[in-house]
Chain A
Amino acid sequence: MREKSRVHGRLLFAANTLLILAGLALLALAAYFTHIHKPLYVRGGLIAFGIGCLALLALRPAIRVLAASVIFGAFAGLYATELTSRALYNDDLPLQREVRQAAFTAGVPYDPRTRLEAILDYRDQGVDAYPPFYPYLLLDAPLKVEGRATIPLGGHSDVFVVACNEGGQYLTYDTDEHGFPNPKGIWGNPIDIAMVGDSNAVGECVPPPDSLAGQLRGAFPSTVTLGAGGHGPIFALASIREYLRQARPKRVLWIYSESHSPQYLNIESHSPFLLRYLDDPAFSQHLVDEQPALDTAITKYVDNGIRDELRAHSWRTTLRNFILLKNVRTLGFEFRARLRPAKPEEFNPQLFERVMGEASKEVSAWGGELTLVYWPDAARYPGIANYTPALRSRHDANRQKVLDVASRLGIKVIDLTTAFPDLPASRAAENSRYFYSFPAHYTPEGYRVVGRVILSALQNQSRSGQ
C-alpha cells in the first residue's frame, strides 16, 4: 500500500513538474514571439495554452496526470513528426530522383554525390575546386574588397568550378582571367561575340561544348560569355559597362530568360548599388583592374560558405536542428505559404526599356550591335515541368511586351520560342528531348537546337550586313 502511494506520489510530482515547465516554456516562447513581432494569433495561442497548463494544477490529481500524459504525448508526437517528415519529405529528393531518371534515360552514368561532396573529392585529388559564385547573393550585403563595398559580376579567376547536375554528371569548367566560363587567354584577341545574361548564358547544366558559347565558338572562335546564375537585366548592363567597353565586341547577345528575367529585374531594382550602373553611365567598379583583390575576397567568401555547409551537415547541427524541430517548422512555413500563395512577379516593361536603352547606347557607342535573344521558359510548352495555362498566358503577355520594347529601341531579336514545337500536352513526350520533366535548364539537345537557330540567325545577319 505504501509502495503504491509512493509510486502515485512520484507520478503526480512528475505531472505537476511537466505542467509547470510546459506552462512557463509556452509563456516564455510567447514573450519571445512578442519581441520578434510574430502574429497575434500565434502569441495568443501560446499564452492561452501556457495559462491552461498552469490552471490545470488546480484540478484533481488524476486529471493532472492525464493532462500531463497528453502534453507529453503531443510533445513526443512533434518529434515523431520531425523524424517521419525527414523520411517523407526532403526538398532535394524529388530532384535527385528526376536527375537520376533523366541520366538513366539518356544513358549517362549518374553521379550521386552532392556538389559539396564532388568539390571535396576534387580538392582531395589536389584540384582547386569551387562552387559557382553567384554575385546576386551579394545585393543586400556587398563584399568588402580592400575596404570598399563591391558587387563582383563574375567569379574568381583561374579556378575549377563544379556547377550543377541536371543530366547525370556535374557541369565543370575552368574560369578565365575575369572569373567567367571561357577559355583562358580568349580576352587577348578581338572579341567576335559577347553574351550577357543568367545561367542560360553560362550553359547550365550541359557539357561545355553543348553550351551556347561552346557552339558559337565553332563559327565565331572569339566568343565569350559574361553570364552568371541570377544575372538579370541590370547585372547584364553592368557587365557590358565593366568588361565590354574595352573589349568592344562586334556583337553582344543579351540572353533574356522568360522564366526568371522579370523576377531578377524586380530584385535588382531594389539595389541602390546596382542602380548606379543605370543612373550614371560613367559609373564603374573597375572590376577588370581589381581581379586579384576580388579573387582574395571571393575565395574567402566561398570558403566560409563551404565551412558553413560542412557545419550544417555535422552531427551537432543535425542534433540541434532535430531538437529545435527544424523540419516541422520549415514545413509549417511552407504550409502557411501555401494557404496564401505569393503573387507571380510582375514584369516592369518601363524599367526594362530603360535598361535596354542604356545597353543599346553603350554597345552602339563602340560600333557594336546588340541583339536580344528571347530564351523561352521550358514550362511555357504544355506538359513540361510546371506548365499551366495561366503561366503560359502570362509568359505570352510578357513576351509581347519584351518584343515591343526591342522594336521601339530598334534592337534586333532572335526569338527562340518558335525553335521548339508548340505541341499539345498529349504530345509533350516529343518535347522531352529538349527539356527535362522537372524545372531545370534545357537538355544538351535543347541547347543544340538553340545554338543552331542562333548561329543561323547570326550568319544571316552577317550576310545581310555584307
Chain B
Amino acid sequence: MDAAFPFLIFSAVVVVAYNLSRSSAWRQLVLTLANLIFLATFSLQPKSYLPLVAFLIFGYVGVELIRAYGRFASWPVITATIVAFIWLKKYSFLPSSSFLHFLYVTIGLSYIFFRVLHLQIDISSGEIPEGISPLTYFNYTCNFATLVSGPIQLFQDFKAQPGLSGESTLSLPVILGAGERILRGVIKTNVLALAAARMRDNAMDTLLTSSHSDEKLWAGFLVFTLYSIFLYCNFSGYIDIVIGVGQLLGFELPENFNRPFSARNFLDFWGQWHMTLSNWLKRYVFNPMMLILMRRFPSVTLEPFWAVLAYFVTFCLIGIWHGQTSEFLFYGLLLGLGMSLNKLYQILLTKWLGRQGYKRLAARPFYRALARGLTFTYFTFSLVWFWSTWKQMAVLYSRLGAREMLEVWLAIFVAATIILAAWEAVRERLLAVQWEGSPALDSWYARAAWSSGLAVLLLGVTLLTRQSAPDVVYKAF
C-alpha cells in the first residue's frame, strides 16, 4: 500500500468526524485535531518539530507585529521570515556551519512559508483587516489537506469557506462529485504516474546499459518525455485528491492545474500549471515589480519590456524556490528565460504583424500545434534540471552523444506537436456531442460509466500488479 491510501483513510475518518455536527466550534476542533495528528505522522521525535513550530510562532508574532505597528514593522518582519525560511531550508549559498545539525521536519515548510508571507503582506497593505486567532492561524497554515503540496489558498478564501462556518452539509451530489474527483486523482497518482514511472525506469536502465544506438535513442526519448507526464499525473492527481477531500469538508480549494499541456505558449502554460504558485508570485513579485518599474521609468514604449524583465525575475524565483542547489538555480534561469523570451516574441511579433495579424497567426491550427509542441518540449527540457544533477546529466550526455541528444529533442518536439494536436482535436469532437443542452460527456450517464471504469481500473491495478505508486514529488519542496 502506498501513501495515497493511508491519506484517504485518514481523510475519510476526518470527514466523518467533521460532518457529525454543523457546529462551527466542533468543526474547528476536528480540523485542529486532524491537522495536529497529520503533522505528528511525520516524525516520532518531538525535537524534530522544534524548527517548524518556531517558524510558525515566529510567523504569527510577525503577523501581530505588523498589525500593531503597520508598515514600520512589515519590512523587517517579512525580511526576517524570508531569511528564516532560507536558513531552515539550508540553501547551499549559506555556510553549512550556520545550520541546525539535527534532523527536523521540513515537509510542508515551503507552503507554510507562502501562507505566512501572504498574511504578513496582506495585513500590512490592509487587505486583511480582521484579527486572526492563533487557532485560525494554525488551521490556515497547517491545514492537513493542503500542507504537503498545496494548493496555496489565500486567507480571505480560507475564511470564507462555508464548511468552517457550519453552512455546508454533505449531500449526495457533493459526495458523488468529490468521490469522482478523488477517484480521478488516485487513478493519476496510482495508475498513470506509476505506469509512467515504471516505463521511465526501464528506459533509464536501457539508456545507461545498452550498446545499441537505436535502443538508446528510443530510451532517451522516453526518459525525458515520461518525466513530464509522470510529474503532471503525480502532482495534479494529488491535487485532485486534496480538492475532493476539501469538498467533503465544505472547503472550496483553488484549482492548481488546468490542462497545462494544451497551453499554446509558455506564458499560458504557467497560467495552467501549478497555478496557485504562479498566481502567488504574480501577486507578490510580478505585479509589485511592474508597478515599481513603471513608476520609476514611466514610458509607454518601455512598459511591455518591463514585463519581460519581471517575468524573468519571477520565474527565476520559482526555480530557486524548488531547491537549494545550482541545478535548481539553472532550472529557474531556464524558466525565466522561457517566459521572458516568449513575452519578447509576442511583443515583437505584435509590432511586426499588428495586433490583429498576430491574433490571426496564433489562431491558425498548424501554428497552434507547433506552439503547443514547442511549449511541451521546452518545459520537458527545463525539467531535466529539476530531476537530475549535473553529474547525472553528464552521464546521460555521454551515453547519448551530441547528435543523438539533438535527435531525441527533435523527436520529442515532433511527437508532442502531433500527439497534442490529435488529442485536442479528439477532445473537441467529443465535447461537441450534446445531451440535453450540454456536452454528453458531462451527463450523469457518461460520468457513471467513466467512474465505474476508473474504479475497476484502480482496483485491478492495485490488487493485481502489487506495485506501489511513487511518492508525491512536491512533498520534497
Q: Could you list which residues of chain A lie within 8 angstroms of chain B, going by C-beta atoms?
A: 4, 7, 11, 65-66, 69-78, 80-81, 84-85, 87-89, 93, 97, 100-101, 103-104, 109-110, 112, 328, 331-332, 334-335
Contacts and interface: CB of A to CB of B under 8 A. Distances in A.
Contacts of B436: 4
Contact of A77 (B195, B212, B435, B456): B456
B465 A85 contact: yes
A73 B461 contact: no
Contacts of B210: 100, 110, 112
A89 B464 contact: yes
A11 B202 CA distance: 44
Interface in B255-314: none
A88 B200 CA distance: 11
- Nearest 3 A/B pairs, CB to CB: A77-B456, A81-B460, A73-B452
A72 B210 CA distance: 43
Interface residues of B, number: 35
Contacts of B435: 7
Given A78-B456, A100-B210, A331-B465, 5 more contacts: A81-B461, A112-B210, A112-B212, A328-B460, A335-B463
11 contacts: A66-B444, A72-B449, A73-B448, A77-B456, A77-B460, A78-B456, A81-B456, A81-B464, A93-B202, A97-B205, A110-B210
A331 B435 CA distance: 39
A76 B211 contact: no
Interface string B439-455: 00000111011111111
A84 B456 contact: no
B157 interface: no
Contacts of A4: 436
B208 interface: yes
A80 B464 contact: no
A85 B461 contact: yes
A335 B460 CA distance: 10
A70 B460 contact: no
Interface centre among A76, A88, A332 (most CB of B within 10 A): A88
A355 to B, nearest CB: 39
Interface class of chain B by DSSP: helix
B452 A77 contact: yes
B206 interface: yes
A132 to B, nearest CB: 26
Interface in B176-211: 191, 194-195, 198-199, 202, 205-206, 208-211
Interface centre among A81, A85, A104 (most CB of B within 10 A): A81
Given A69-B448, A70-B449, A112 B215 contact: yes
Interface in B404-435: 435
A14 to B, nearest CB: 10
A97 B449 CA distance: 38
Nearest to B209: A104
A110 B209 contact: yes
Contacts of A335: 463-464
Interface in B62-77: none
Interface string B324-339: 0000000000000000
B457 A77 contact: yes
Given A97-B202, A100-B206, A110-B210, A85 B464 contact: yes
B467 interface: yes
A85 B457 CA distance: 10
A77 B206 contact: no
Given A85-B460, A89-B467, A331-B464, A76 B453 contact: yes
A93 B435 CA distance: 45
Interface string B40-66: 000000000000000000000000000
B209 A101 contact: yes
A11 B433 CA distance: 14
Given A69-B445, A104-B209, A110-B211, A84 B452 contact: no
